[in-house]
Amino acid sequence: MIPELGRAAVLLGLAACSVGAVTGMWAGKTGREDVWRWTRWMALAFMISIAVATGLMEYALITHDYSVKYVAEVGSNETPLAFTIVSLWSSLDGSILLWALILAIWAAVFAVKLKDSHPEHAPWALGSILLVGVFFTFLVSGIANPFERVPSPLDNGPGPNPLLQNHILMIVHPPTLYLGYVGMTVPFGMGCAALLSGRMPTSWARAMRRWMLVPWACLTVGIILGGWWSYEVLGWGGYWAWDPVENASFMPWLTATAFIHSSMVMERREHLKGWTITLVMATFLLTLLGTFMTRSGVFNSVHSFTQSPIGPVFLGYLGVMLVVSVLLLAARVDTLSPPTAKLEGPWSRDMAFLGNNLLFAAFTFTVLLGTVYPLLNEVMTDVQISVGEPYFNRMSVPICLGILFLMGVGPALPWGRATFSTLVSRLAVPSGLAVAIAIGCVATGLREWVAILTFALSGFAGAVTLRELTEPGRQRASKLGEPLLSALMQTWRTGHRRAGGYVVHFGVVMIAVAIAASSVYRSETEMTIREGKTKSFMGYDITYTGTERLDEPHRWSRVARFDIDKDGENLGQAEPRLNHYKKMNQSIGTPTVMSGLDEDLYLSLVQVDPEGKMASLSVVVEPLVIWLWAGGGVMLLGCVIAGWPTRRRREDAA
Amino acid sequence: MSENNAGQRRLALVVSLLVAGAALAFVSFGNIGENLVYYWNPTQLVEAGNKSIGATIRLGGVVKDGTVDWQPDEEALAFVVSDGTEEVSVQCSGAPPQMFREGIGVVVEGTMTQGGVFKSSRLMVKHSNEYKAPKEGASVEDLYDTVESL
């Protein structure tokens, strides 16, 4: 029954979505209230149908109904329940279903939230969003149909990819990333609405920003969780390898970040409208490109599940959307209302934002080039190559340093005109701090200029950020004679968007320091230890005490035990393991990470000889890694502060 | 500010953006050229001869039977990678992964040295969902297809 019911729910969703797309455009064109109401109902019907379909799929997964094709592909009777539930996103067809579900949820939330506001734009926007939904639902109903009936079902399956059932982060990383990735469709639809209606009022710009903020926050967290997952699971002690699938999530993040900044210029000075909308469209197109790259099998990775016919369809859709976006932009960008104020230069925040946007655009370009170059090369010359990590590192370091620098300069500058002397007076203390940090680094024996420069610029940006966070509160306290803490809280509450933004900046500073320290001062080695013997690395004494075999229904694991001592102090036992998944004939390691505030000790088991007398380990010592994850938490906190709903509902209705 | 002046400023802005864009493209392409990783099989590697020395190469093939030499105390691993036609000696640093054995498909990343030995810092064992021993002479693309790399 499930195959038929599921298919029916998907087709119902496809119908609702298609009708909604048409009525949305119609309502946008005519402004008819009744047609707009229908569009909203269609969005809700779309959401409910796809939610039912997803629920049926989960039911089939949990009850091991192998007559459903997708369950036959990823299910197994031995997989633990939690990983059975999340195997919805462990293979191609299920992940596209999840994609459709998240898009449907975004569309429905958008429909409810914008029921009575922005009548000129909201129908166009919802129509555009649903139009994107039509494509994905079409995939689910056709070539990526997870509900296909298996003619003669078996009574067990292979289970999900071992890499994807090895760690708890697999439960949260994909949905978070999807929420962000798919959520970029909403600002895209809103950008289309601005172009289709030919108007871009400040209220709509502000609404767009808010609808970008939530997916951006999800994408940020999703990317960091992905890095964390790769650190905890893959066993090479790194979190980022400029892999095509990582780049696929990073590129839209870059353009979305640029958008968040340029939209502030747009809100305030009515400037950069065309550019800002271009960024929104680019973000969406890059999510499509990323989906194509990760789902079509053109790259080999854990994300490209299988060679699938979905690739060409996706490429075609990407092409169509690219042409539509360019045409729409070209035809309508001139009709957006002209700026009310000149861009001030060169010592103004406007210019800092412009510089920030150029750097983000350059960053996107270099990552895009490095990612698609092998594909283009293979198409043209039939030679298989890939672009090595050094390219990305060499290109991104100067750009990131530039961004870090502007993160300090920009907030210190006022909007509009400013003189060089204000700049000097406002930047004196932070610059002094940066110089002091650099001198301190050199004095303690550090010689690597990339790390020193990053630490100095981080101090610079951090100091400016801290002052921007506290200055309004301090002024208020001295003016009104309030206690400092309550004055600070008061200014953060009223100016929560601003405060949240600076908290995000603070998270970025933490991440910059963590990345620089952990990549520049990383040390690694491989060692083979005989039972009972000790080897040392970077002050850690590692003693191999023995091995043990653990059996579970779906896998067996070889656990090797090591006693870890540092400076004569016992840090406890490390138990890295190798898990052997029976049905896949694959060994996947579970490394042990001993995290400290100053550095991580990372042990990953490479092999144990059959008698267990000898164990080979890869050992990595990396400083400050924990601050990378903490920085991600701070960024999320900043987003929550900035996006916290206020009682000022009037601006929605404006 | 006069019209003319504003026009000049805009022109200067556009020109400087174009120059910056061109410079970025130039630097990027130059940088890419220096950091390419080539996907080759032993036959291609042998054919390339001395031209291959120094370039970063991902060599795919099958570990030849009876050639694995693993010295745990020196952390040295040596074996021969074959594609059925040609063979290349490979030296790796570090221990072989648990799944490593004779006759299995591997991809090693590294460089060719003057002495004709391929020095590798990275060894990846080919995994397949339905595991079959790779056939001698399996195409290198087939091997890459099933390598689980991230």
* A241 close contact with B: CB closer than 8 A: yes
Cα distance from B115 to chain A (closest Cα, Å)?
24
Alpha carbon distance A187, A647 (integer Å): 23
Least confident of A92-106, A299-313, A363-377, A401-415: A299-313
Q: Is the pLDDT of residue A12 over 60?
A: yes
* B33 close contact with A: CB closer than 8 A: no
Tokens of A636: 């999320």
Q: Which residues of A442-476 are buried (b: 16+ CB within 10 A; e: fewer)?
A: eeeeeeeeebbbbbbbbbbbbbbbebbbbebbeeb
Q: Which CATH number fits domain B37-146: 2.40.50.140, 3.40.50.2000, 3.30.360.10, 3.90.1170.50?
A: 2.40.50.140
Average pLDDT, chain A: 90
* A154 close contact with B: CB closer than 8 A: no
pLDDT band, residue A376 (cuts 50/70/90): confident
pLDDT average, residue stretch A255-263: 96
Residue at B3: amino acid letter: E
For residue B76, the tally of other CB atoms under 10 A from its CB is 14
Q: Of chain A residues 564-583, which have a CB less than 8 A from chain B?
A: 578
Tens-digit pLDDT profile for residues A184-204: 999 999 999 999 999 889 899
* B23 close contact with A: CB closer than 8 A: no
Of A252, A240, A126, nearest to A180 by C-alpha is A252
Comparing CB atoms, the residue among B31, B94, B147 nearest residue A391 is B31
Of A360, A463, A457, nearest to A411 by C-alpha is A463
Tokens of B6: 């504003």
Mutation for B interface: A384, A530, A582, A588, most B CBs within 10 A: A384
Phi-psi region for residue A73, left (φ > 0), alpha (ψ -120 to 50) or beta? alpha
* A150 close contact with B: CB closer than 8 A: no
Residues of A whose CB is below 8 A from B20: 358, 362
Least confident of A324-333, A376-385, B85-94: A376-385
Q: Is the pLDDT of residue B143 over 70?
A: no
Q: Is the pLDDT of residue A129 over 60?
A: yes
Mutation for B interface: A167, A616, A617, A620, most B CBs within 10 A: A616
H helices present in A234-342, as ranges: 244-269, 273-295, 310-332
CA torsion through residues A198, A201, A204, A209, sign: positive
Q: Is the pLDDT of residue A340 over 70?
A: no
* A135 close contact with B: CB closer than 8 A: no
Is B37 within 8 Å of A585 when comparing Cβ atoms? no
Alpha carbon distance A8, A328 (integer Å): 35
Is B144 within 8 Å of A384 when comparing Cβ atoms? yes
Is A526 within 8 Å of B73 when comparing Cβ atoms? no
Residue whose structure tokens are 């490095």: A370
pLDDT band, residue A158 (cuts 50/70/90): confident
Is A616 within 8 Å of B72 when comparing Cβ atoms? yes
Q: Is the pLDDT of residue B132 over 70?
A: no
Tens-digit pLDDT profile for residues A576-626: 999 888 766 667 889 999 999 999 999 999 888 888 899 999 999 999 999
Rounded to 5 degrees, what are φ and ψ at A350?
-55, -45
Question: Is A283 buried (19+), middle (13-18) or exposed (0-12) by CB count in 10 A?
Answer: buried
* B16 close contact with A: CB closer than 8 A: no
Tens-digit pLDDT profile for residues A472-481: 999 999 999 8
Q: Is the pLDDT of residue A336 over 90?
A: no
Alpha carbon distance A182, A74 (integer Å): 23
Tens-digit pLDDT profile for residues B62-100: 999 989 998 888 888 999 999 888 999 999 988 888 878
* A341 close contact with B: CB closer than 8 A: no
Alpha carbon distance B135, A383 (integer Å): 23
Alpha carbon distance A484, A467 (integer Å): 14
Share of chain A above pLDDT 90, in %: 70
* A597 close contact with B: CB closer than 8 A: no
DSSP A165: G
Alpha carbon distance A88, A530 (integer Å): 43
Is A395 within 8 Å of B31 when comparing Cβ atoms? yes
Is A366 within 8 Å of B24 when comparing Cβ atoms? yes
pLDDT band, residue B128 (cuts 50/70/90): very low
Question: By the 8 A CB rule, do B119 and B65 touch?
Answer: no
Is A386 within 8 Å of B98 when comparing Cβ atoms? no
> What pLDDT, on a 0 to 100 scale, did the predictor assign at position A265?
87
Cα distance from A173 to chain B (closest Cα, Å)?
16
* B132 close contact with A: CB closer than 8 A: no
> What pLDDT, on a 0 to 100 scale, did the predictor assign at position A307?
55
Question: By the 8 A CB rule, do A24 and A123 touch?
Answer: yes
Mutation for A interface: B19, B36, B74, B104, most A CBs within 10 A: B36
SS3 call for A27: helix
Rounded to 5 degrees, what are φ and ψ at A377?
-60, -40
Architecture label for domain A523-627: Sandwich (2.60)
> What pLDDT, on a 0 to 100 scale, did the predictor assign at position A308?
64
The CA dihedral of A503, A509, A510, A511, to the nearest 10 degrees, is 110
Is B20 within 8 Å of A358 when comparing Cβ atoms? yes
Question: By the 8 A CB rule, do A259 and A285 touch?
Answer: no
Q: Is the pLDDT of residue A300 over 70?
A: no
For residue A78, the tally of other CB atoms under 10 A from its CB is 16
* A396 close contact with B: CB closer than 8 A: no
Of A393, A392, A634, nearest to A520 by C-alpha is A393
Q: Is the pLDDT of residue A380 over 90?
A: no
CA torsion through residues B101, B104, B107, B110, sign: positive
Tens-digit pLDDT profile for residues A527-558: 999 999 999 999 999 999 999 999 988 888 99
pLDDT average, residue stretch A210-231: 95
> What pLDDT, on a 0 to 100 scale, did the predictor assign at position B6?
66
pLDDT average, residue stretch A26-31: 95
User: CA distances (Å), B110 to each of A249, B52, B116, B124, B149, in order?
Assistant: 28, 11, 13, 12, 15
Q: Rounded to the nearest 10 degrees, what angle do helices A496-520 and A626-643 cross at? A: 170
> What pLDDT, on a 0 to 100 scale, did the predictor assign at position B130?
33
Q: Is the pLDDT of residue B137 over 50?
A: no
DSSP B118: E
Cα distance from B149 to chain A (closest Cα, Å)?
5
Least confident of A135-139, A318-322, A604-608, A619-623: A604-608
pLDDT band, residue A653 (cuts 50/70/90): very low
What lies within 8 Å, CB to CB, of A90 at 6+ separation is A74, A160, A161, A164, A165, A170, A305
Residue whose structure tokens are 């198409």: A379
Q: Is the pLDDT of residue A447 over 70?
A: yes
Please give the angle made by the CA atoms of A132, A135 and A137, to the nearest 5 degrees: 105
- Which residue of chain A comes nearest to B122, CA vs CA? A236
> What pLDDT, on a 0 to 100 scale, did the predictor assign at position B150?
31
What lies within 8 Å, CB to CB, of A358 at 6+ separation is B17, B20
Comparing CB atoms, the residue among B32, B73, B99 nearest residue A587 is B99
Domain ranges of chain A: 1-161, 167-418, 523-627
- Which residue of chain B comes nearest to A368, CA vs CA? B28
- How many helices (H) and strands (E) would you count in chain B? 3, 7
* A584 close contact with B: CB closer than 8 A: yes
Omega prior to A201 cis, within 30 of 0: no
Alpha carbon distance A404, A436 (integer Å): 17
Cα distance from A158 to chain B (closest Cα, Å)?
9
Least confident of A316-325, A328-337, A530-539, B15-24: A328-337
Least confident of A245-249, A277-281, A294-298, A329-333: A294-298
Question: By the 8 A CB rule, do A229 and A202 touch?
Answer: no
> What pLDDT, on a 0 to 100 scale, did the predictor assign at position A269?
81
Question: By the 8 A CB rule, do A624 and A513 touch?
Answer: yes
Could you tell me which residues are beta bridge partners of residue A588?
A579
Of A371, A343, A369, nearest to A357 by C-alpha is A343
SS3 call for A137: helix
pLDDT average, residue stretch A359-371: 95
Tokens of A437: 């940090």
- Which residue of chain A comes nearest to B92, CA vs CA? A526
Cα distance from B37 to chain A (closest Cα, Å)?
5
Comparing CB atoms, the residue among B32, B72, B144 nearest residue A370 is B32
* A521 close contact with B: CB closer than 8 A: no
Is A526 within 8 Å of B93 when comparing Cβ atoms? yes
Residues of A whose CB is below 8 A from B28: 365-366, 369-370, 395
pLDDT band, residue A121 (cuts 50/70/90): very high
Q: Is the pLDDT of residue A470 over 90?
A: yes
Tens-digit pLDDT profile for residues A35-55: 999 999 999 999 999 999 999
pLDDT band, residue A90 (cuts 50/70/90): confident
pLDDT band, residue B133 (cuts 50/70/90): very low
Mutation for B interface: A587, A604, A620, most B CBs within 10 A: A587
Alpha carbon distance A539, A510 (integer Å): 26
Domain ranges of chain B: 1-35, 37-146
